[in-house]
A and B are shown apart, each in its own frame.
Chain A
Amino acid sequence: MPSAEQFEPEIVAFSCHYCAYAAADLAGVMRLQYPANIKIVKLPCSGTVDILYILKAFEQGADGVFVAGCLKEGCHFIEGNLRAERRVERAKNLLDKIGLGKDRVEMFFMSSAEGGRFSEVAREMTERIRKLGPSPIKGG
């Protein structure tokens, strides 16, 4: 039973259908363990993630968000992942101004064969957010 003291981050993972979601699925098939703190939202392409999705995730109580797309030269839609990277950068600047801080959102690239990488990213993000603590705007 989780200790009442330990903060369990809630992290939303916007994952692209072709790579990141497939990697997450593969992690499952490989029976790799990764934290249950991650809530995956599948998108056709990481480039369809809108800044507003990231902001709304935080507004609704997420402690952290990451966007996961294909490897840089491997986006199924050519450059969707590059657009996503630029939007995550913009989101970081906005979150800094808002007072939540740049580090609560991140962009990751991986291939559909990298089940291990997805679980590694999930662990890394969970620990990062655990250290940062709950989102200051949680709980309305």
Chain B
Amino acid sequence: MLEGSQNVLVLGCGTCVAVCLSGGDKEVGILASSLRMADKVSGKARVFSEHTVERQCEWEFIDEIQEKVKKNDTILSLGCGVGVQALSERFPEIHVLPGLDTVCMGMPEEEGVWVERCSGCGNCLLDKTAGICPITRCAKSLLNGPCGGSSGGKCEISPDTPCAWQLIIDRLTAWGKLEMLDEVQPPRDWSTSHAGGPRKVTSKDQYGGHK
């Protein structure tokens, strides 16, 4: 990915990727140091500089580093896919490379273990499923209960994956509200999810309306 680069800015982000220990200040330091040393071993002499901004997804924060960016031909971004794209759009003459693979919206279930919890479907049904998302946590995104592959509370795709519907049923049962599942969910309108194209949300009171 770095073929042809000479001056590389390894750019971190201080928000989401920092808290999941993938792309913050420290990870920038580790990557830049490793790249410098690897270059020395292989006889290359690229220059790797380091910086971290608060968030790569906001123009105000990335505009702060314009001068620094101009001194480089490449940005190796440790931001999420949003950050990489914001940088690309703001600095179109610079090669912006993705240093990470962005996976999902998730949480650290325990130290060092991050699990997916939200698919960003745009039409939240967590009120109907005891706060457990079947869109995300069910491998088939089923809406009306488990499939035949649910066994011992586990999904057939992996013994490490709980069956989301088992979790939902268990919790509703504990609440004494299992009859909530008597309400059958009809075929879902997926147009609010990515299937409907890239989403755009405008807040009428926040939008200054200058354009």
Q: Show the binding face of A for B, using Cβ within 8 Å.
A: 50-52, 55-56, 58-59, 94, 97-100, 136-137, 140
Query: Which residue of the partner chain, among B26, B37, B42, contacts A59 with CB atoms under 8 Å?
Result: B37
Q: A52 CA to B40 CA in the complex, in Å?
A: 18
Measured between beta carbons, the chain B residues less than 8 angstroms from A100 are: 37, 41
Asked whether A55 lies within 8 Å of B33 as measured between CB atoms, the reply is yes
Residue among A50, A94, A136, A140 making CB contact with B34, cutoff 8 Å: A94
Say yes or no for B14: interface residue by CB 8 A criterion: no
Residue of B nearest to A136 (CB): B41
Question: Are A99 and B26 in contact, with the CB atoms below 8 A?
Answer: no
A56 close to B33 (CB less than 8 A)? yes
Q: Is B38 in contact with chain A by the CB < 8 A criterion?
A: yes
Residues on the B chain within 8 Å of A97, using CB? 34, 38
A137 and B34 contact, CB distance less than 8 A:
no
Q: How many residues of B contact A (CB 8 A)?
A: 11
**Which 5 residue pairs across A and B have the least CB separation, nearest first?**
A99-B41, A137-B40, A55-B33, A98-B38, A98-B37
Chain A interface, >50% SS class: helix
Which of B33, B36, B38, B41 is the most central at the interface, judged by chain A CB atoms within 10 Å of its CB? B33
Q: A66 to chain B: closest CB distance in Å?
A: 18
Chain B residues lying within 8 Å of A137, measured Cβ to Cβ, are 37, 40-41
Task: Say whether A99 contacts B38, CB under 8 Å.
Answer: yes
Minimal Cβ-Cβ distance residue in B for A138: B40
Q: Please determine whether B41 and A98 come into contact, CB atoms closer than 8 angstroms.
A: yes
Report yes or no: B42 in contact with A99, Cβ–Cβ below 8 A.
yes
Q: Are A50 and B38 touching (Cβ within 8 A)?
A: no
A50 touches B41 (CB 8 A): no
B30 at the interface (CB under 8 A from A): yes
**A55–B37 CB distance below 8 A:** yes
Q: In the assembled complex, how far is the CB of residue B47 from the closest CB belonging to chain A, in whole angstroms?
A: 13
B residues near A51, Cβ cutoff 8 Å: 30
CB distance from B28 to the nearest CB of A (A): 10
